[in-house]
Structure 1
Amino acid sequence: MDKSVDQEIVGLLYAGVVAMLLLAAALVAFFLIYQKKLIGQQLALQTMQSAYHKELLVASIQAEEQERQRIGNDLHDGMGSALSAAKMLMGQLAPAVAGHPQGQEVVALIDDILHHSVQDLRHISQSLHPAVLTRFGLAKALHNLGVVCAGAFAGGIDVQVDMAIALTQAQELALYRMVQEAVNNAMKYAQASRLTVQLRQLPATLALTVTDDGHGFDYATAQLSEKAGLGLKSLAARASMLDAVLRLDSAPGRGTCVCVEIPLAKLSS
């Protein structure tokens, strides 16, 4: 009888141990499932936040471009017309001072000032809103940018475009602005004598590189600089909008290379 009771107790103990093990296994399984679900929710939230951030970025850039276009058109239509009219009137005034050397000198000086003002205004208007890009596409716009800015570099600007893929106007504008930013940085900070712009379609990517032979800079230090940081942030923002990989290779004394790689799948989607 005692032996039967002992066996019953042992059986109960075994049953208790098995039940505890099953309970522990269930708790572990619940914890793993809960953790997996929590990680999935966090990833989904991060994806939503990333998509929302990109939407805000795109909206901000679009608003900026619309404002640039408005200002550029106002300058071209308003100030441009006024300066052109003033230059025409100065041309009509020239015969009236034909016999007065001092008057001729003043008229010639004013005419020269007006001529350069018109040229500067056209350059500013083109920078704000590249009409060439809208009318003739990215390749022509980049070559035109090279011609306009070539005078700032002793060795000029070499522009090479080799691509067959069709881009949207927003994509072309983003790439154009990135080249424009890189060129402006080379003019203002690098003291470069030559600059090369390459836009090539590779098997899987569209690669944009802008290389100068300037004095270069320390990337980590430049990020802390408010002035240089704005240009770098502009490049990063437009690269993000294009789902592109942005690399900046530079060091003091060996120039700068801005490299942008965009998967062709992102451009065709």
Structure 2
Amino acid sequence: MLETKDWIKRYFDEATDAVMIFKDDELVVANQIAQDLQTELNLDPAYLIEVADASVKQKFTPTDNCFSCSIRNSMQEISIPITLASDMPHPLNYFLVYHVIDATDHVFSLTLKNRGTIERLDQLAQQRQLNQYVNRAHEEERKHISEDLHDSIAQGVYSAIMGIRRLAEGELADHDIRHITQVIEGQLTDTLAEVKGMALDIRPSVLDNFGLLPALRVLAKRLEENSGTAILVTGNANTDNLSTDVQSVLYRIAQESINNALKHAKATEIDVLLVAHEHFINLEVMDDGSGFDVPSHQQFNGRSLGLMNMNERVKALNGAFSIRSHPGNGTTVTAKFPVTTS
């Protein structure tokens, strides 16, 4: 038991956060980094209590002036941004975390956590979570392609094989041969169309051969024919100076935005605008659909994953991405990139 206490004390003393424990607003114990901060910055622990007290009173209505009492009656823990050494060349940014240890005896801790470290950890955690969802989306896409290959294309080829076997099995009247031949030709034509459609979804050749604007027009025409929704592509942009990566991302954003408008918003008209300015190129996809509440789709979920994926793709190439939408007022998706050479 004594050895365990030594381990706990060593961990407390060597912690990278400054930890101070109080009883009745009096400092009882502080770890080494907290002691160093007090010495180097002439930091008064009572000042930290006042900062936490002021923050609590902004959020709650205390029953009296007792700091620990108001905390005890309100919540177990609170975190407050705080800057120390603000008059020095390199101010220190922290989060001041108040934690109730024993409400009955009025024992609590104040911990100074480096704000930059926490923000970096939060960013890493968010990126890991996003990567998990993106990987899941990729797996879902692979599953969708596999199902299409099995249910549509493989079945079409199998039906054509069965028709060819009928032709090879024996004597058939001329009109039967013509009928079976027409059926096989129809099956193979439909299968070829399915293959071309999948190829366009995966990587349109027109994007590589003719550029972004023609590729967007081909995409709009195909989706318009399939959905019956009017999709208009306009613009004056010369995309020759855009990198292949930027063109690919702009195409995927248009594709995702149009599909979202058709699937979720029940739009009757979609406009795609690609305009080049002196130093940047701007893509806008506007629909007259049902719209949605953007803040409620900022967290990770299946429906918002496509939007988050678009945002991450744009940011990775130094672009800007935004979504404007309100329930009943349609949606506008905008992506802007600086003009760069290939």
TM bucket, shorter chain: 0.5 to 0.7
Q: Does 1:161 align with 2:235?
A: yes
For 1:36, what is the secondary structure of its paired residue?
coil
Ranges in structure 2 where 5+ consecutive residues have no aligned partner: 1-39, 43-84, 94-113
Matched letter for residue 210 of structure 1: V
**Structure 2 residue aligned with 1:131:** 205
Q: How does 1:61-72 map to 2 (within 5 A)?
A: none
Deviations 1:216-268 (A, max 9, x none): 2222333457221111112211221232222212222222111122344xx35
Q: Provide the rounded CA distance (Å) in 2 between the counterparts of 1:118 and 1:157.
A: 25
Of 122, 130, 143 in structure 1, the residue corresponding to residue 196 of structure 2 is: 122
**Structure 1 residue aligned with 2:90:** 36
**Structure 2 residue aligned with 1:242:** 317
Matched letter for residue 228 of structure 1: R
Q: How does 1:187-226 map to 2 (within 5 A)?
A: 187-224=262-299, 226=301
TM (norm. structure 1) is: 0.63
Contact in 2 for aligned 1:178/1:238 (Cα 8 Å): no
Compared with structure 1, are the counterparts of its residues 104 and 203 closer, same or farther at alpha carbon in structure 2 (3 Å cutoff)? same
For 1:259, what is the secondary structure of its paired residue?
strand
**Structure 2 residue aligned with 1:99:** 175
Q: Provide the rounded CA distance (Å) in 2 between the counterparts of 1:189 and 1:199.
A: 23
Ranges in structure 1 where 5+ consecutive residues have no aligned partner: 1-25
**Structure 1 residue aligned with 2:104:** none
Deviations 1:100-156 (A, max 9, x none): 3xx765654454333222211211111112222122211221111112211134342
**Structure 2 residue aligned with 1:8:** none
**Fraction of identical pairs, as percent:** 28
Q: Provide the rounded CA distance (Å) in 2 between the counterparts of 1:218 and 1:27.
A: 47
**Structure 2 residue aligned with 1:142:** 216
Of 211, 235, 260 in structure 2, the residue corresponding to residue 185 of structure 1 is: 260
Contact in 1 for aligned 2:86/2:92 (Cα 8 Å): no
> Which structure has more strand as a fraction of its residues?
2
Between the two structures, name the one with larger relative contact order (CA 8 Å, sep ≥ 6): 1
Q: Provide the rounded CA distance (Å) in 2 between the counterparts of 1:213 and 1:192.
A: 5
Contact in 2 for aligned 1:200/1:207 (Cα 8 Å): yes
TM (norm. structure 2) is: 0.51
Q: After the TM superposition, which of the residue ranges 245-254 and 165-174 deviates more from structure 2? A: 245-254
Deviations 1:62-81 (A, max 9, x none): xx7xx99xx99xx8xxx79x
Matched letter for residue 248 of structure 1: I
Q: Provide the rounded CA distance (Å) in 2 between the counterparts of 1:126 and 1:174.
A: 15
Q: After the TM superposition, which of the residue ranges 231-240 and 168-177 deviates more from structure 2? A: 231-240
Compared with structure 1, are the counterparts of its residues 193 and 204 closer, same or farther at alpha carbon in structure 2 (3 Å cutoff)? same
Q: How does 1:22-33 map to 2 (within 5 A)?
A: 31=85
Q: Provide the rounded CA distance (Å) in 2 between the counterparts of 1:155 and 1:46.
A: 44
Q: After the TM superposition, which of the residue ranges 244-253 and 230-239 deviates more from structure 2? A: 244-253
Number of aligned positions between the proteins: 222
In angstroms, what is the RMSD of aligned CA positions?
Answer: 4.4
> Which structure has more helix as a fraction of its residues?
1
